[in-house]
Structure 1
Amino acid sequence: MLLQPSLHNRNPSISPSLSYSRPLQSRVSQIILRQSSSPFKPPAISCSVSQVHSYNTMDYERRPMVKWNAVFKRISLMENPELGAATVLNQCEDEGKKLTKWELCRVVKELRKYKRYKLALEVYDWMNNRGERFRLSASDAAIQLDLIAKVRGISSAEDFFLKLPDALKDRRIYGALLNAYVRAKMKEKAESLIEKMREKGYAMHALPFNVMMTLYMNLKDYGKVDALVSEMIEKNIQLDMYSYNIWLSSRGAQGSVEGMEQVFEQMKLDSMINPNWTTFSTMATMYIKMGQLEKAEDCLKKVESRITGRDRIPYHYLISLYGTVGNKEETYRVWNTYKSVFPTIPNLGYHALISSLVRIGDIEGAEKMYEEWLSVRTSFDPRIGNLLMNFYVKEGKLDKAEGILDQMVELGGKPNSTTWEILAEGHTKERRISEAFSCFKDAFLADGWKSWRPKPVTLSYFFDLCEEEGNLETKEALVGLLRQSGFLEDKTYSSSVGLSNGALKDEAGSQDEGDGSELLNQLQSSI
């Protein structure tokens, strides 16, 4: 499958051991009260949706350089983001600083870069309320639609689309809505929309086809990927780098070495395409999946030979892929090369290395690199500590996992939902129901009430333990939290954690919606 940078980048050159002397909940709670506080993941078989801003939908007015970053910093560093971006913008104007569209669009671009979508949308809302000053173009509308889908949901994005005047509904607007449908995996709506785009002549370039192929890859409907490629060839629509990379991924995901290599040969014959590092990293991932490790390593050499400029991302992929292959020597060699090229290494780089060393089994090396990261970090990313914590729990070393958490919080880090889920798994293995449930509650609170989706296998083990110990009260309490979060509305998910519809009614049917809120209030007040 396609590695994520293949669709995100427009021009890719693509052991600490502290233990607790008192209950975990109370210690961490006390530490948090004293101190209040995108890493790289190993290549996965997944596709990501092309971003609107990656395809030149921003058409700023040509103006001299201005200090837009001052406005961006004031918005992004707000002590209380709930006040909204409009508060900052109004303050700026009250201070006599008349804001221009160029400045505001540049602020939006930066906010989107750091995934501050809600604030970015609020900037556009502020401009919309001053229509006499700001003329918003079709590209602005496309960006707004993209933001609305991410912040307020698909229904709101559809309403926004319907209210737009026909004069603004160009291929960028349709493309933004298509992106939204594909991100939500809404197959029927995406297929209906692209058919309208065909009728309007908006599907005469590679982008909408790439977006639809991304959808089919995520749905594992590989036959439709081939069908879209055939349509492009029949209509003389030029395949771009992303098209070929998705096609390669589709063939590889089907386990066809020959099919993938046929696509690569066709790619080499295309005079408009020059295979880059993302192509070879994609092929390396597919070869690894199919057990062709020698061919995978040959592709990794080609990845390295195609790194240009000051692009860090290829190094992260090389380190991770060599770790997946199990080649410790090459993992360290690439790491040392990386450090010689760049004076500082971001969290992303350390995450890639430590993850690889854990997979290889070099735990001593992983712990050493973790200590090095602690000494040079500029921000605390809990996902790096989670790598070691997860290993310790799987090895039955819960005390060492707790030591990582203790140190993380002491140094100002904020555990995320995965941190607590890892500890919940560890306590479940040691048959500590109360401690595991406490971790589950912290996981719900860590990243937002409805943002964490617990792993079904972890929940199943916990529910089984509750049944064995006859502790149905705790089981029902966790079911209530899951139901309040909306996860149990997904029948596939609820069955995967061992909860049938009948069981849900028996165990939780007596609770109304207010009980879930009460549980949430209780666990919040317990911190």
Structure 2
Amino acid sequence: MWALRRVPNPLKDTRISIGASYAASARLQTWSNYIEEKAIIFESSQTISDKRLSLLRFYHSTHASSNLPVGRCGLSSQAGAESSGKENDLEDGFSELETAANAETKENRNAQDETQDGLDSDREPSGDEEDVEGTASNELELSEAETDVSHKKSSTRRTASELFQAIISAPGLSIHKVLDKWLEEGKDLSRAVIAVTMLSLRKHRMHDRALQLSEWLETKKQLDFIERDYASRLDLIAKARGLQKAEYYIQTVPKSFRGEVIYGTMLANCVIADNLKKAEEVFNKMKDLEFPITSFACNQLLLLYKRRDKRKIADVLLLMEKENVKPSLLTYKILIDTKGLSNDITGMDQIVETMKAEGIKPDIHIKSILAKHYASGGLMEKAQEVLKGMEGDNIKENRWACRFLLPLYADLGKADEVERIWKVCESNPRFEEYLAAIEAWGKLSKIEEAEAVFDRMLKTSKKIRARYYAALLKVYSNHKMLQKGKDLVKQMADNGFQIGPLTWDALVKLYVEAGEVEKADLILQKACQQNQIKPLFSSFTVVMDQYSKRGDIHNSEKMLHRMRQAGYAARFRQFQSLVQAYINAKAPAYGIRERMRADNIFPNKALATQLAQVDAFRRTAVSDLLD
């Protein structure tokens, strides 16, 4: 790995704008592998070839090449932070960005994981949502993720399952008594059991309980903490208690363990929390400590710029070239999707060719991204060609591709192809295929078919998760079928499911589509009061947008405040909606520019035009006459 080079007379720092999304990001497989001490740590740095430099030329902007020094590159949100103008389309990120080799393994493992514990999680989806984002978190799987449950001894898995059930059954927020009793009874508390238990808690987004377990283990000296254990604790603190608490915790970590893994974990959580300022500070801190510039850190910046300012992607690519950091598969995925979102199909194809020239084959995820953007660009034949390539010569042999193909064929409006692919799965569907089929039939407005898939899933499986209900609920929401949605939620309650973020999101959108915005707001308010798992970002914005359309300034401001209370940092998207509320109300927005500046939000041309309309001190022909 390469240390950051410094020069005797450093050039003027180039300040780079970064931004992030709770849903904008990737499953950080490379970083996870580093923490898990597996074979892959980071991609080895090597000289960037002329072919790879073509990536930079695709994204090169005037300000990027001449100002970025070879030596020190700081990060700041204030330089050139004007967005590219398609902010509404950039509320996205990546999920399930594993390699093609991992995809089939994961698919096979899902069948086992679905039958592990009986607790429903209603957690965020792992797959593709409307624009490659889903609600997928930039989830950092830390030390617990090192344990592949399917490869552990059955006795370890049984013990871990028992411990998990004991923890989640503990009344209140304290689990220490349960753990003390476990210890008194002399039950297994090996690192393997702890790892599997932690993984289960993380899967169900029970970060607070996982954090309590980690704290208890250290207090009782049941585990000799190493760097990845401290990183795991840091990650849980950030998720359960916020970035400020996580930042304080770093100072308590022994200096010998306060290394790249710790700060990389903090950086990832800043990305998850969409905290622009903190992400900048952490990245600069890592450089001050002379940690190597890695593809992991660069990919984080790319994800941030993909959302906030696509022009600045050139800065990161130039930095990678200067520091001889080889683009990873994730790097190419981000760049391909960014070009696709900009409707630059030619540029997208060029990046694919560059990737192939470097010996990196497009995996199933890249192919699905390409197909989606070809379809949205009206290139139906090219999209179909990609999908046929995903199928291969025998779709039955490439069964794991079915869950990608179902919604993609639906995007093309190919009901016959959806039916054909579903028949391949129909004899013994996997859970992800059920989800994909429900989504596909919903996109095609074939509600009865979607319901039939759902009913079959209920009949053939003893235990299903709430997110499968949420999939059908989303179909009802998209088609404004309020009564059916209510009945489905009642069915969930009758079956003992705990309502979580996905169900809240679908319910909120269901009521919004039905015109009952106040009811949607009330559901969101109750969800926030549960104080366990915060609602999705999209749940807030869909309600805020409705208030904005009405010119309801009070409720628009209220939604912005509640989003902050829920832990979401200010984003461009929120202020765009808020300013529109003032415009529709024909009211001036005093101090709105200062508020945006305080949150490191800088307007693009479209928002600047909106701001001019609500400027209380703007000069007009009438005001000049009156003066």
Relative to the length of structure 2, the TM-score reads 0.62
Q: 1:104 to 1:403 in 2, by over 3 A?
A: closer
Deviations along 1:43-81, whole A, 9 cap, x unmatched?
A: 524396654437998599xx9985254244333453345
In the other structure, the counterpart of 2:352 is 264
1:280-429 equivalence runs, <5 A? 280-305=367-392, 314-340=401-427, 343-346=428-431, 348-377=432-461, 378-379=463-464, 381=466, 382-393=469-480, 398-412=482-496, 416-422=503-509, 424-425=511-512, 428=515
Separation in 1, partners of 2:333, 2:471? 29
Partner of 1:197, secondary structure, is helix
Separation in 2, partners of 1:349, 1:232? 38
- Contact 1:216 1:224 (C-alpha < 8 Å) held by counterparts: yes
Q: 1:259 to 1:390 in 2, by over 3 A?
A: same
Q: 1:503 to 1:196 in 2, by over 3 A?
A: closer
1:158-173 equivalence runs, <5 A? 158-173=247-262
Separation in 2, partners of 1:464, 1:265? 44
In the other structure, the counterpart of 1:127 is 217
What is the CA-CA distance between 1:182 and the residue it aligns to?
Answer: 1.1
Q: 1:440 to 1:312 in 2, by over 3 A?
A: farther
**RMSD value, Cα:** 4.2
Partner of 1:321, secondary structure, is helix
Separation in 2, partners of 1:484, 1:250? 30
Separation in 1, partners of 2:541, 2:268? 29
Separation in 1, partners of 2:147, 2:493? 44
In the other structure, the counterpart of 1:34 is none
Match of 2:232 among 117, 126, 143: 143
Match of 2:313 among 211, 225, 233: 225
Separation in 2, partners of 1:255, 1:96? 61
Deviations along 1:413-464, whole A, 9 cap, x unmatched?
A: 56632354245336636xxxxxx74564344325754633645554665798
What is the CA-CA distance between 1:203 and the residue it aligns to?
Answer: 3.0
Separation in 1, partners of 2:400, 2:143? 20
Partner of 1:5, secondary structure, is coil
1:360 aligned partner, one-letter code: L
Separation in 1, partners of 2:587, 2:218? 49
> Is structure 2 residue 339 aligned with structure 1 residue 251?
yes
Separation in 1, partners of 2:177, 2:391? 47
Deviations along 1:213-232, whole A, 9 cap, x unmatched?
A: 1122232x222323323322
- Contact 1:68 1:104 (C-alpha < 8 Å) held by counterparts: no
Q: 1:370 to 1:71 in 2, by over 3 A?
A: closer
Moved more, 251-260 or 149-158: 251-260
2:526 aligned partner, one-letter code: L
Q: 1:485 to 1:56 in 2, by over 3 A?
A: closer
- Contact 1:203 1:209 (C-alpha < 8 Å) held by counterparts: no
Partner of 2:179, secondary structure, is helix
- Contact 2:336 2:352 (C-alpha < 8 Å) held by counterparts: yes
Deviations along 1:259-317, whole A, 9 cap, x unmatched?
A: 1111111111113x332212211222222333322222222223333999999874322
What is the CA-CA distance between 1:328 and the residue it aligns to?
Answer: 1.2
- Contact 2:238 2:269 (C-alpha < 8 Å) held by counterparts: yes
2:276 aligned partner, one-letter code: K
- Contact 1:117 1:147 (C-alpha < 8 Å) held by counterparts: yes
Separation in 1, partners of 2:508, 2:208? 27
Separation in 1, partners of 2:171, 2:458? 29
- Contact 1:424 1:440 (C-alpha < 8 Å) held by counterparts: no
Match of 1:274 among 336, 341, 361: 361
Moved more, 313-322 or 483-492: 483-492
In the other structure, the counterpart of 2:72 is none
Unpaired stretches in structure 2, ≥5 consecutive residues: 1-91, 106-121, 591-627
Partner of 2:102, secondary structure, is coil
Partner of 1:213, secondary structure, is helix
In the other structure, the counterpart of 1:11 is 102
What is the CA-CA distance between 1:239 and the residue it aligns to?
Answer: 1.8
Separation in 1, partners of 2:176, 2:209? 9
> Is structure 2 residue 526 aligned with structure 1 residue 445?
yes
1:425-436 equivalence runs, <5 A? 425=512, 428=515
Deviations along 1:338-377, whole A, 9 cap, x unmatched?
A: 335xx3432x433322222122222332233233334334
Separation in 2, partners of 1:398, 1:462? 20
Q: 1:274 to 1:90 in 2, by over 3 A?
A: same
- Contact 1:449 1:485 (C-alpha < 8 Å) held by counterparts: no
Separation in 1, partners of 2:389, 2:376? 18
What is the CA-CA distance between 1:119 and the residue it aligns to?
Answer: 2.0
Match of 1:116 among 206, 229, 238: 206
What is the CA-CA distance between 1:201 and the residue it aligns to?
Answer: 4.3
Partner of 2:220, secondary structure, is coil
- Contact 1:358 1:388 (C-alpha < 8 Å) held by counterparts: yes
- Contact 1:428 1:462 (C-alpha < 8 Å) held by counterparts: no
In the other structure, the counterpart of 2:51 is none
> Is structure 2 residue 190 aligned with structure 1 residue 92?
no
Q: How many residues were matched structurally?
A: 459
In the other structure, the counterpart of 1:189 is 278
What is the CA-CA distance between 1:148 and the residue it aligns to?
Answer: 1.0
Match of 1:103 among 190, 193, 196: 193
What is the CA-CA distance between 1:108 and the residue it aligns to?
Answer: 1.7
- Contact 2:299 2:330 (C-alpha < 8 Å) held by counterparts: yes
Moved more, 37-46 or 192-201: 37-46
In the other structure, the counterpart of 1:175 is 264
1:213 aligned partner, one-letter code: L
Q: 1:403 to 1:199 in 2, by over 3 A?
A: closer
Q: 1:209 to 1:57 in 2, by over 3 A?
A: farther
Relative to the length of structure 1, the TM-score reads 0.73
1:438-517 equivalence runs, <5 A? 440-446=521-527, 448-449=529-530, 451-452=534-535, 454-456=539-541, 458=543, 492=575, 494-495=578-579
1:345 aligned partner, one-letter code: R
Separation in 2, partners of 1:211, 1:66? 39
- Contact 1:217 1:225 (C-alpha < 8 Å) held by counterparts: yes
2:435 aligned partner, one-letter code: H
Separation in 2, partners of 1:228, 1:59? 33
